[in-house]
Amino acid sequence: MARCSLVPFVLFSCFSLLYLFTKEWIPPSPSPHPSFSPQIQTLTLTPTRSSDPSRSKDLDAEVEFDFAPFVRVYKSGRVERLHGTATVPAGLDPSTGVASRDVAIDPATGLAARLFLPADLVPGGGGEGGGARVPIVVYFHGGAFVIESAFSPFYHNYLNALASRARALAVSVEYRLAPEHPLPAAYADAWAALRWAFAGGGGGGDRWVAARGDPARVFLAGDSAGANIAHNAAARAGKGKVRVEGLVLQNPYFWGREAVGREPRERWIREGMERSWGFVCAGAMGIDDPAVNPMGASGMGMGGWGMRRALVTVAGRDVFRERGLAYAEGLRRSGGGGVEVYEAEGEPHVYFVSNPWSPAAAKEIDVLVSFIHRR
């Protein structure tokens, strides 16, 4: 295949989110309450090099790093997000019957979350939930570590669908993004969010988590970059003697220097992926670091991770498919608990987020629901 013909495939699959331009989504109902929904804005980093003040305007227009179609960083330090900044308010979604609200987990770092709970389970809401406790799904959105939000229309719709179908309390985490906060900042946020969920919503206790969450059924979940974050939270949970019930990785973002299976072997593709990883972690971790390549020689033993069982989903047209399958096989071989794999043949990367109401997405959500409720 000629190099030019691979470009659209690589941008779509490797970089994962061009579906944002083509998907259809159902606008959620407006929130009847004020919503804590911080917007992702164009920000300024400390300039990467000293410069004459008279050239400041030039530096503000000169690109330092182009991570299209997601973000550009200019030589002045300005960060421009090309998309993935839209947010929607929390509230009752009439199409699913799920209520949502926003909470601050750590005001010092800006760590926050949007909680999703079937409306009939809302404490004091007059529903039929009684004293029922439901699984807690701590979820991390995708977006190549640099865009998207727990408050975006994509993830608001997807978590509404998941909470409704699973009859679960979903905690969609608003973690810090690179490049302003390079990895491992998001990993630290994930760990803090997991501890918050286990603590019943912090020291004072969140009323939804404390009244409805089942601490014996806590799941870590995420898609793409968010799946990578969930994996790293599970690895830390194992070291910290924290035991989660399950790990759900949807189309996980893993990579490495050497190709696996049918991954592209073209040097320019692999070097491009390595550069993008170096960008999101500010060069702190190599492409074979266990954070992104847990199957590599430097990876830790999977059997010590903090979950009882795992579900890995892959998509047939996703460049990350091979890594997802290798990850699942590594879990099996290391005795990391029960491992399930689901493949959506013919589908692209994270197709289920772009349209959670499609038949293919509904089937994937069914797999997640079955996994969550299996004892």
Q: Is 269 left (phi over 0), alpha (psi -120 to 50) or beta?
A: alpha
Three-state DSSP state, 367: helix
Which letter, b or e, does each residue of 178-206 get, where b requires 16 or more Cβ atoms within 10 Å of its Cβ? bbebbbbbbbbbbbbbbebbbebbbeeeb
173 plus 52 within the same structural domain = no
33 plus 154 within the same structural domain = yes
Give me the pLDDT at residue 128, please: 64
Give me the pLDDT at residue 24, please: 32
CB 190 within 8 A of CB 183: no
306 plus 202 within the same structural domain = yes
- 43 CB neighbour count, 10 Å cutoff: 13
- CATH number of the domain to which 291 belongs: 3.40.50.1820
CB 327 within 8 A of CB 295: yes
216 plus 363 within the same structural domain = yes
The end-to-end CA distance of the chain, in Å, is 47
Give me the pLDDT at residue 126, please: 66
Give me the pLDDT at residue 296, please: 82
How many distinct structural domains can be found in the chain? Answer: 2
Q: What's the domain range around 71? A: 42-83
185 plus 69 within the same structural domain = no
Place of tokens 């959670």: 356
Give me the pLDDT at residue 46, please: 42
Q: What is the distance between the alpha carbons of residues 203 and 217, in angstroms, rounded to a whole number?
A: 20
Give every residue of the chain whose pLDDT is below 50, as ranges. 1-44, 46-53
92 plus 128 within the same structural domain = yes
Q: Which of 27, 51, 83 is the last residue of a domain?
A: 83
Provide CB contacts within 8 A for 313, sequence distance 6+.
248, 249, 250, 251, 324, 341, 342, 343, 344, 364, 367, 368
200 plus 296 within the same structural domain = yes
Give me the pLDDT at residue 129, please: 66
75 plus 97 within the same structural domain = no
Give me the pLDDT at residue 203, please: 63
Give me the pLDDT at residue 12, please: 37
Give me the pLDDT at residue 32, please: 31
Give me the pLDDT at residue 158, please: 98
140 plus 181 within the same structural domain = yes
Residues assigned a catalytic role: 224
201 plus 115 within the same structural domain = yes
Q: Which of 32, 53, 83 is the last residue of a domain?
A: 83
How far is CA 298 from each of CA 55, 204, 255, 292, 371, rounded to the nearest angstrom? 44, 40, 13, 11, 30
- What the block records as the tokens of 71 is 């973000």
Q: Which of 28, 57, 83 is the last residue of a domain?
A: 83
158 plus 245 within the same structural domain = yes
Q: What is the distance between the alpha carbons of residues 227 and 239, in angstroms, rounded to a whole number?
A: 19
Instruction: Say what the pTM is.
Output: 0.87
126 plus 69 within the same structural domain = no
